[in-house]
Structure formats: structure tokens, C-alpha cells
Structure 1
Amino acid sequence: MRGLIPLTDNKSTDLKLNEFVNGGPVAPKDPVEKRSGFFIMFDTIIEATARPDGKFSQEIYLEGRLIDKARFAGGITDEAILEHLKSCSGFRRLVHSIGISVKSNEQESAGVFFVLENWGVTSKYETGTRLRIPCETDGSETILTLEEYDWSPDDDVPGKFAFEFEREGTLATVSIIFYLNEGYQVPEFQVEPPVDFRSESYREMIAKSLLNKGNNKRLKAAIDKAKRGEDVTIAYIGGSITQGAGAKPIHTECYAYRSYAIFKQMFGKDDGGHIHLIKAGVGGTPSELGIVRYDRDILRNGDVNPDIVIVEFAVNDEGDETKGNCYESLTLKALTSANKPAVILLFSVFLNDWNLQDRLAPVGEHYDLPMVSVKDAVVEQFRLTKTEGNIISKRQFFYDTYHPTNAGHQVMADCLGFLFAETERSAPDLSDIVTDKPAMIGNDFIHTCLLDRSKIDDIASIDPGSFNGTDADLQSVEMDDHPYGTPQFPNNWMHKGESGRGSFKMTIRCKRLILIFKDSGNIEFGSADIWVDGLQKLTADPHIHNWTHCNAVILFNEQAATEHTVEIRMASGHEDKHFTILGFGYVS
């Protein structure tokens, strides 16, 4: 076991970050083996990813998620136990120590640091305790005993765990267990048998995912092209699940890459080199942003004409202001492309069995599209025990509250693979999909185009004012089969605290306009007031979600194109802070 010692300049009393570093080994006061405990992570694969601060780490966010982790990873149902996990004070009353085990996938590993961060009351990311401890990478357990350390009086909620490695791309299998103080007891942990992906019951579960075969004319055309050895491109657009979150390594274990590989194996000729992948998932974003990204990220600004487009926004679109208009517009944008691609609607699911299938599936029914529901495949059997017929548990399927594990991603890929197989063996539909009919929800945004710093031309007249910088600290996502991140909206306009107080001013003639701005956890960012035609539309707050990603908001939606003026200026009291305009989506 390894211990921690406080830094000599510890400043917890004046609400600075209360940080600890590794010290020498110390003896445990009592054996943790005798204590009751439950897992927060069990045999979970993690991957070291490059971070802006130069570290290579895997973060596990706890705020708002720790109770779910205790439920599905630890099997905890006692509400009194779970209530303690809502705050740092309750956490310390409940938890005696934390056991951390790390088994590196590399033969020679230089070690890893485990980090626990609490969020503070006064300043969320600055005034809570931070513990950092070295761990072996041979699978042995390291114990962090909570009572041995001073804690910041400003601790509010457990914020995150992190594992810091020395090399990018390092893979490891980790477990984290909370050993409890005396007086608390939880049921003994039961190890589950591995998922049998070759069983008949698994195949029956996968078959339940086929929500609608749909009109197969276009999908069969793509399959036939592949069989002839012609170039076929499969494109995926969606949120973080499509990006590959939870898959380790993300670029080859995500459902998009796996289902692409299934298609290539089923229908490709020779080595399948004529089957191509486009993956364009961006975490934390709805179809409201997807419709802005489509030309850039799927069509690659006209260089690519995909044969198959898979749309996955079933767990992201709760924040879509249009309540499905942007989703249907995105679907139609793909369907009405000149090369007539097949469009497949994919419905993923969250840990709480929720998605927006009831809202979005009618769009697919309206156009008779192939639809695949992961929810329909797995949720019913989640409620069963192994003896009752459970095939894959929530613990095995979910990496966290929102994202699948490698096994979960494989289930998603196999669901798509079942659609491919069913389509191949079905009789062909002779007539094509009908798109020129009244929309189910709406199609106002079908012709949305991206406007950023690189694409002004004759579209708009812009005076950036004090928004004359360029932000390089952007949300990055793993596109296609790349293991590295691609920065989103690099051609942006950034206001910095020292750049003055001038407004960003734009004149544009269009029907509809979407603003995309940066959300950030950095306290240096502040709010900006958005004015349209002389009236204040909203105050854009970059701390709604407090992590670096892209926020889309509709500034206006009208039936006729007219000239509009847009002014963006820092909100009162925020003039010395930062704000980044990532771009706009407009409909002429």
C-alpha cells in the first residue's frame, strides 16, 4: 500500500486547491479485507488520451454519476447508502478507504497515478481537495485510506477520478472499490460469467433490435456495389456514442468501426479495401449541431458521396430546441442527396433505459427507413437474472451512465450487422423511398450551411470587433478510424479578456440562423449577450455544462429570407473574460 503526504505549502484554509502528492509506504491501520465494500469500476478497460495540459490520462467523472456507478457496477440498491454519495461529507462518513487495482496491457509499464478530485463550493474546480497516488500496474491493490489526509473545508461533491499514464494510448484494466466504515454493510459482489456472443439466446436478443426493415432498395444497392468490388462508403453521424466513447481503444472498438468491419467482411471483395469509413460523432451535441456539420463532416465539403448514412441522435436530442425538426431535416438532407444513399436510423440507449425513440422513430416510419433499436434489443433482458435468461447485464453493457463498454459497442455493431444480413436475404423493393411529401415533424433546416471564419465570402458582412482572436483549445473528436482527436470549429472568433470591449457585428440575409459557441469549464470564460435586429435574444453562458464542447442555439427561424443584424458583446461584468464564437449555421 502507498500513502500520501500533504505539500508543505498546503493552503486549504484559504480555499485554494488542497493537493497531495505521493509519499513513502505506510502500514494500514486495519485490514480492508475485513470491511464490507462495493465496486465503482470492475475490470474496466481504460485508455490514456492526450490532454491539453500535456498529461496522458483517462478521466471518470463522478458528479451526477457516482450513484449510477454504485448501482450498476456495485449492485447497490440501499437508498441510504446511495444518499451518502451525493456529497463529500456523506462520502467520507460512508467510505473508509479506496482500493485501486491497475493491470497494464503493456509488458513494460512505467507506472500510473490515480487521482481523486472533489469539486469545491467557492470555486468549483479550484477549491476542492485533490489526491494523487502512484499505483503499480501489475494488478496489485493500492489502498487510499481517507482519514489519513486533511480535506479542504470547501469540498462539495466528489468530482472525478483520473488515471495518469506516461504514454499516450496505454491500455489498462482497472478496478476501484469503496471499503466502508464500520456500521455499513452491502451484499457481497457477484462476478458475472462472460457474455456468450455466439449463443442462440444472444442472436435472438440481437434480432429484437430490428425495429423496421424499411424500404431496402438503396441499402441493397450499396450491398450489391460492395459485392461487385466497387467503392462503397459507410458514414456515421451522431453524438459521443458514435464518436466511440466507452470503447477502448476508441478507434477500433467503437460500434461504428465494428459494424463497418462487419459490412466489409460480409460483402467486400478480396481484402475489402474498396469499403470506406466516415465516422463523425461529436460528444454532447444534438442533431441541431449535426445539421450544421453534415456538409463538412460527412460530405467532406463535396469530396465524398456516402452510399450508407447511419444517424444516431436518440440519446442526444433532448436538448434539440426544434424537438425533431432538425433531426428530420438531417435525415432528409442525407436522403435527398444526388447519389441517393441509404439512410439507417439507429436508436442507442442510456443506463436508465431511456432514449427518444418515441419521438424520432415516426420520422423513419414516415419515410419507410431501416431502423435499428438497441433499446429494444437489450432493455427487456436487463431486468432478468442470469438464471432467468439475462444475456448481458447493465454492468457488462455500460461503461458509465451514458456510454457502452467494448461489449456494448459490439452489441450495437451486431444489431446493425443483423440489419445488413436481413436486407441481403430479403426480396428487393422495386420502388424508391418517397421524399417529396409533407414532413412528419419539420424540414426547415434541410439546407443548413456552415459559416465560420474561413467561409465568409459573400454570405455575410462581419466586423469581429474584440472577437478577433482564434481559440485553439477546442473539443477534439476521433474522426473516421483515427486514434487522435480533430479540433472542432478551428476557424472561430474568440474574445479574450485583454482584447477590448468591441462587439462582434454581422449582417446576413437568411431565413434561419444557428449560433455555435464554446462551452468551457475554464473560469476565465464568461457570458455574452446576443442581439438580433437590435433586440436582445439571449445571454449565452459557456458554463451550462462546464466542459469543453460545442453549444448550438437558434437565433431565428423565419419562413422568408430577410436581412438581419447580429451583435455579440460580452455581458456586463464579463468584459475581462473570454468567449468563443465557433461558427453559425444558416439557411438562405
Structure 2
Amino acid sequence: MSDPLSSADSRTAGSGPRAPKDPAERRNGFFVLFETHIEATARPSGKPSQEVYLEGSYLIDKARYIGGVEDMQILELLRTCEGFRTLVHSIGVSVKAEHNQGDITFLLQNWGKTDKYTSGTALRLPCPADGSELLIQLDQISGSADDDVPGKFAFEFDQAGGLAVASIIFYLNEGYAAPELSPETPVAFRSEPYHEMIPHSLLHPGNNVRLKAAIAKASRGEDVTIAYIGGSITQGAGAKPIHTECYAYQSYLGFKALFGKDGGGNVHFIKAGVGGTPSELGIIRYERDVLRDGAAKPDIVIVEFAVNDEGDETKGNCYESLCLNILSADNQPAVVLLFSVFINDWNLQERLSPVGIRYNLPMVSVKDAVTPQFKLTKAEGNVISKRQFFYDIYHPANDGHRVMADCLIHLFQQAAAAQADAEDIDLHQPPVIGNDFRNIRLLDRSSSLRNVQIEPGSFTGTDMDLQMVELDDNPSGTPEFPYNWMRPAEAGDEPFRLTLTSRSLILVYKDSGSTGFGSADVRVDGKPVLTADPHVNNWTHCNAVIVYHQETSGEHTVEITMADGDQDKCFTILGFGYC
């Protein structure tokens, strides 16, 4: 009797062919995402998703820093949809879900010429979640004549909080070639070279009186709060999941483990990072987002604006003023200045570190720790590559957030081990940049102030579509500036009128990618001072601009009306900061 396993007729459906075909030759290509952690975030409309924006230089930078592409011809072709199709033969997408996440859909959307967000081609395809590759061949997909530039990728999940690892590779048409990606070994976080790298982050140990007081307080079992204020990196951008893998939460856990009493339940956490915003906005929202309108008194505050403050109109005045506001609190909190870094090795450390020197504050520079070794090969002593450290050109990936956390933990350990300084810092000295915005206050629709008069005019609505921020250890977004004044489309021409006595006034208004929003003219005492354009950044975002800044205080009337040609559009005043 013959062996049934040798019979072709008895093969199961899952067995392979007797003579598999030779594999097709894989085209040359480059990655724009490589084993990148993604997380489904709830959206105002549509499915929870991880979005990856491509416009401007975003896609070019991904090709350069993730794919290793240096050919300028290839990089230039990525700027437009026409060039993209000339260059790219097919797109390979692979997603490996951590758990059973249900269906995952891959979206490729082009921005349109007629209407940026709606008239371009949007391609949605179901994507396997087991790590196998979805191959999208572009010549089998009809585009639109209205396609302008590549807009975004997105991974759509059934539920918010879904986690996966994703890679996207562009396979190239004949005539184009890119360097082959060499797989990297995981970062050796426990290695001696890693532990030698971290101490380079200690830019300045600073006066340790306040930091040691907080450590001692935690060790005694008393309640201690560590707070973080900054931009998108502090918010957790690039970390997956954002609320537990971000540097802020990881360094808080480190502090709690080192100094907390009986498991660290006495150590508390406040995180108040807002993406795309400088200290010019941070100083306005500090009382609400960190102090929680007086309900919280942090013992340690980490200030992280080193890659956001290029947008600070005061060039460091608001940064120094914010530090002084924190330091002047009755409970004498410690302030730690944290300098993060972009993928091009840039930050504003040179501008902002003199504030730390003036008041002898502890300063931690992630830039100083990682950028020298970025230039080395593994054989020469590279510990973590840029591809491993960064999620995109601005934000750290999980590995990068861990490095940042370890840099802060190193500071905490050094402060605990050091001999205590004899005296506290001296705040009674001239500022190194400026302190004009100390004691600034937030004014929004919830404020009730006797010396402020507000006539909303046509700005009677409340905008609910706001920038959402994951505060503290909450994975869900909290709206920024919910107590706002919105001028609905075609609501009338009555100006918003604010009369108050102040030395300085900062307007906070909503940026938007929607064409339904238009510009507004701002006048002070009848004179035009600026036009607030909600499309400066072109995404739902909080924008702060100085309306006036004077040496002495005086009464002023501010009027805001829609700009000529935009009377049929919306505009949202999120609030004001005034001194």
C-alpha cells in the first residue's frame, strides 16, 4: 500500500505546490516608515487612526532620514503627485498588530488643487494585520487630474488605542535606485556604552536645594507632584501608546521607583504638553494646565520648549518669564530645563540655556547626549541611530522617549547623591533675556473680571472642534481653550470688542485647515495692528500672537472683525493673555 502522504490527490488545501515558481525579482526601493509603532487615535469624524502627513518637506525628510535617500532628483519627484507616479512603481505596506485589533485599513490621500482636503484621490484598502505585505501597484489605480501633492497616509482601526508596528516601502520604476536599508540591531539599553552616553546629557547640574527637597519629601512618604510643560514631545508625540511610553510618564515612573514611599503612591503626575506651541502660549496656559487653577502645587516642573520656541515672538522673554513664574511660587518648586532635539541636530539650547545659567537651574540636554554618537558607525561606537531614535523628523520614537526619560532620571540620581547646596537660588537679579511677561493671566469666556469689558458682537458661538491634547496619563484628548468666542460663518459684522487696562496683550486664536475659516483684522484704539490668519499652520492648532507690548500699563480697546473678503467665514478667538 502506498504512503498516502506521497499522493498528489491527497494533499490538503494548506500544502504547497510540488514545484514553486521562482520568486519575482524585488524592485529596488526605500522605506518611509520602518518598523514604526503606530496607535489608533480617536478622530472627530471617521474611524480611529494613526495619520502620517506628507505635505511640504515631510515626505522628502522621511525619504532622506528613514530611507537614506540622497539623490536630489528622487527627492524632488516626491514633491508632487505627478512626480510621485513618475518615481514610484508600487507601495508595500505591512502592519503587525500587537493583539487582535480587528480590521485595519490603509489610506493614501492626495491633496487636491480645487479643494485641498476633498478633491484629491483617496485610496482605501484593507490591510493584513499579521505583518504580511500589501502591495499597491500604482499603474493599476486611476488617479485624478485634480491631484496636487501627496497628502497623508493613515492606518484606520476599529477601536481607539489599537497598537501595531508598520512599515511602508516605495518600490521604484526602472531608472531610479536608492540605497538598500540595512537592518539594525535593537538598542542595547543595558549596555555599558549606553550608560556612558546618558551622563553627557547633564548640561548643568544647577542648584540642588529645591530638587533635593522634593526627593526628601517623596522619600518620607509625603505627597510630591512632578509636572511637565512643553510642546508636542512633552505631549508624547511619537510614543506608542502616547500616554505611557512618552518620556514624561517614563521619567515620572523612574522618579517614583527611586524615591517614592511603599510603591510610590505618594508621587503624582501632571503632563501639559501642547503640540506646535511655544512658551509664548505655555506661559498663558500654565495656571490652567499645570496648576489646575490653584488645585495643584507641583514640587518639580520640567520645562521643554527647546524645539518649539522658534515661533516665540519674544525670542526668550516669555521663556524666562515662565521660568520665573514657576520659581516664584510659595512652595518653591524646582525647575528643570530640558532641551530636546530635531533629527537635523537642531534646537534652541544656545538661546535658552543662559536662563538656566542666570538662575543656576538644572539643565538636561538630549542633544548633547545623542548627536555626537549619531555620526558614528556601530563599529565606532554608535549606540542609537537616528532611525531608531526618531519617529519622524521632529519627534522621538519609543526608543527616543526612553533615552529622554533616562537623561532626566540620571539628573534625579545625581541630585540625590550630591551634597546639598548651602543656599537656594537667587531670583532677585536682572533677567538675562527679559521678564516682561511675568504674572501674565489667562482671559477667556469663563473669566469674570470687574475691570474687563467684553462685547462679543458677532462672536457669539462656541467652537467645539479644538486642538485635542492627552493630558497627564489620559490616553484620550482634552480640548484646549474650550471657553472661546467663535464667529460663525455669515453671522454678521459686529466686532468683538475688549476693553481692559494692561501693559501687554497676547491673542490666542484657532488655526485650522478648513477653508471655512478666514482671517480677522485686529485693531487697538481704532488703529490696525495685525491680521490673524488661521491658515498659518493649516491644522487645528492654538496660535498666540502679540497684540501690543508696552513699558507702562494703560486702558485700551481691542476690536476684532473679519478681514475683507472673508466676511462669510468663521474665526475663533480662543482667549487672551494679559499683564
| TM-score above 0.5, yes or no | yes
Q: Could you give the per-residue CA deviations for residues 500-527 of structure 1, whole angstroms, max 9, x where no partner exists?
A: 2211011011111000000000111011
Q: 1:167 aligns with which of 159, 162, 181?
A: 159
1:97 aligns with 2:90: yes
One-letter identity of the residue aligned with 1:428: A
Q: Could you give the per-residue CA deviations for residues 516-553 of structure 1, whole angstroms, max 9, x where no partner exists?
A: 00000011101110111111111111011110010000
Q: Quote the Cα distance in structure 1 between the aligned partners of 2:524 and 2:169.
A: 53
One-letter identity of the residue aligned with 1:575: Q
Tell me, what secondary structure is at the counterpart of 2:193?
helix
- The aligned residue for residue 37 of structure 2 is 45
Higher deviation after alignment, 245-254 or 152-161: 152-161
- The aligned residue for residue 484 of structure 1 is 476
- 1:109 Cα deviation from its structure 2 partner: 3.1
Q: Is the 8 A contact 1:245 1:404 kept in 2?
A: yes
Residue pairs, 1:217-232, within 5 angstroms:
217-232=209-224
- The aligned residue for residue 359 of structure 2 is 367
- The aligned residue for residue 417 of structure 2 is 425
Q: Is the 8 A contact 2:101 2:157 kept in 1?
A: no
- 1:65 Cα deviation from its structure 2 partner: 0.8
Residue pairs, 1:121-520, within 5 angstroms:
121-520=113-512
Q: Is the 8 A contact 1:32 1:179 kept in 2?
A: no
Q: Quote the Cα distance in structure 2 between the aligned partners of 1:262 and 1:536.
A: 51
- The aligned residue for residue 104 of structure 2 is 112
- The aligned residue for residue 25 of structure 1 is none
- The aligned residue for residue 24 of structure 1 is none
Tell me, what secondary structure is at the counterpart of 2:301?
strand
Q: Quote the Cα distance in structure 2 between the aligned partners of 1:433 and 1:576.
A: 54
Q: Quote the Cα distance in structure 2 between the aligned partners of 1:33 and 1:142.
A: 17
Q: Quote the Cα distance in structure 2 between the aligned partners of 1:32 and 1:512.
A: 67
One-letter identity of the residue aligned with 2:465: D
Percent identical residues: 66
Taking structure 1 as reference, are residues 95 and 321 closer, same or farther at Cα in structure 2, changes over 3 Å only?
same
Q: Quote the Cα distance in structure 2 between the aligned partners of 1:89 and 1:239.
A: 35
Q: Could you give the per-residue CA deviations for residues 142-192 of structure 1, whole angstroms, max 9, x where no partner exists?
A: 111111122122222211100111111000111101011111122222100
- 1:261 Cα deviation from its structure 2 partner: 0.3
Tell me, what secondary structure is at the counterpart of 1:35?
coil
1:35 aligns with 2:20: no
One-letter identity of the residue aligned with 1:389: G
Q: Quote the Cα distance in structure 2 between the aligned partners of 1:414 and 1:531.
A: 48
- The aligned residue for residue 87 of structure 1 is 80
- The aligned residue for residue 10 of structure 2 is none
Q: Quote the Cα distance in structure 2 between the aligned partners of 1:187 and 1:512.
A: 54
CA RMSD between the two structures: 1.1
One-letter identity of the residue aligned with 2:88: V
| Runs (5+) with no aligned partner, structure 1 | 1-29
Taking structure 1 as reference, are residues 307 and 288 closer, same or farther at Cα in structure 2, changes over 3 Å only?
same
Q: Quote the Cα distance in structure 2 between the aligned partners of 1:183 and 1:313.
A: 44
- The aligned residue for residue 26 of structure 1 is none
Q: Is the 8 A contact 1:310 1:344 kept in 2?
A: yes
Taking structure 1 as reference, are residues 255 and 538 closer, same or farther at Cα in structure 2, changes over 3 Å only?
same
Q: Is the 8 A contact 2:32 2:67 kept in 1?
A: yes
1:61 aligns with 2:53: yes
Q: Quote the Cα distance in structure 1 between the aligned partners of 2:462 and 2:66.
A: 42
Q: Is the 8 A contact 2:101 2:159 kept in 1?
A: no
One-letter identity of the residue aligned with 1:379: T
- 1:32 Cα deviation from its structure 2 partner: 6.9
Q: Could you give the per-residue CA deviations for residues 100-154 of structure 1, whole angstroms, max 9, x where no partner exists?
A: 0111111x33211111111223322222221111111111111111111221222
Q: Is the 8 A contact 1:115 1:163 kept in 2?
A: yes
- 1:389 Cα deviation from its structure 2 partner: 0.9
Q: TM-score, normalised by structure 2?
A: 0.95
Q: Quote the Cα distance in structure 2 between the aligned partners of 1:462 and 1:245.
A: 37
Tell me, what secondary structure is at the counterpart of 2:109?
strand
Q: Could you give the per-residue CA deviations for residues 421-469 of structure 1, whole angstroms, max 9, x where no partner exists?
A: 1111111101110001100000000110000000033141011011000
Q: TM-score, normalised by structure 1?
A: 0.93
- 1:305 Cα deviation from its structure 2 partner: 0.9
Taking structure 1 as reference, are residues 459 and 195 closer, same or farther at Cα in structure 2, changes over 3 Å only?
farther
- 1:222 Cα deviation from its structure 2 partner: 0.5
Q: Quote the Cα distance in structure 2 between the aligned partners of 1:206 and 1:119.
A: 42
- The aligned residue for residue 580 of structure 1 is 572
Q: Quote the Cα distance in structure 1 between the aligned partners of 2:159 and 2:493.
A: 42
- The aligned residue for residue 74 of structure 1 is 67
Tell me, what secondary structure is at the counterpart of 1:34?
coil
Q: Quote the Cα distance in structure 2 between the aligned partners of 1:465 and 1:134.
A: 49
One-letter identity of the residue aligned with 1:482: N
Higher deviation after alignment, 391-400 or 77-86: 77-86
Tell me, what secondary structure is at the counterpart of 2:38?
strand
Tell me, what secondary structure is at the counterpart of 1:207?
helix
- The aligned residue for residue 6 of structure 1 is none
Tell me, what secondary structure is at the counterpart of 1:215?
coil
Q: Quote the Cα distance in structure 1 between the aligned partners of 2:490 and 2:46.
A: 25
One-letter identity of the residue aligned with 2:64: R
* Greater than 3 Å deviation, 4+ residue runs: 30-33
Tell me, what secondary structure is at the counterpart of 2:322?
helix
Q: Is the 8 A contact 2:39 2:241 kept in 1?
A: yes
Q: Is the 8 A contact 2:290 2:296 kept in 1?
A: yes
Q: Could you give the per-residue CA deviations for residues 389-430 of structure 1, whole angstroms, max 9, x where no partner exists?
A: 110000000001110000000000000001001111111101
Aligned residues: 557
- The aligned residue for residue 8 of structure 2 is none
Q: Could you give the per-residue CA deviations for residues 334-382 of structure 1, whole angstroms, max 9, x where no partner exists?
A: 0111111000000000011100000000110111100000000001111
Residue pairs, 1:548-563, within 5 angstroms:
548-563=540-555
Q: Quote the Cα distance in structure 2 between the aligned partners of 1:217 and 1:32.
A: 67
Q: Could you give the per-residue CA deviations for residues 85-108 of structure 1, whole angstroms, max 9, x where no partner exists?
A: 1221111111000000111111x3
- 1:49 Cα deviation from its structure 2 partner: 0.5
Q: Quote the Cα distance in structure 2 between the aligned partners of 1:38 and 1:281.
A: 33
One-letter identity of the residue aligned with 2:125: I
Residue pairs, 1:519-530, within 5 angstroms:
519-530=511-522
One-letter identity of the residue aligned with 2:146: D
Q: Quote the Cα distance in structure 2 between the aligned partners of 1:547 and 1:55.
A: 19
Taking structure 1 as reference, are residues 290 and 243 closer, same or farther at Cα in structure 2, changes over 3 Å only?
same
One-letter identity of the residue aligned with 1:126: T
Q: Is the 8 A contact 2:97 2:165 kept in 1?
A: yes
| Runs (5+) with no aligned partner, structure 2 | 1-21
Q: Could you give the per-residue CA deviations for residues 169-228 of structure 1, whole angstroms, max 9, x where no partner exists?
A: 000111101011111122222100000001111011111000000000100000000111
Q: Quote the Cα distance in structure 1 between the aligned partners of 2:519 and 2:448.
A: 25
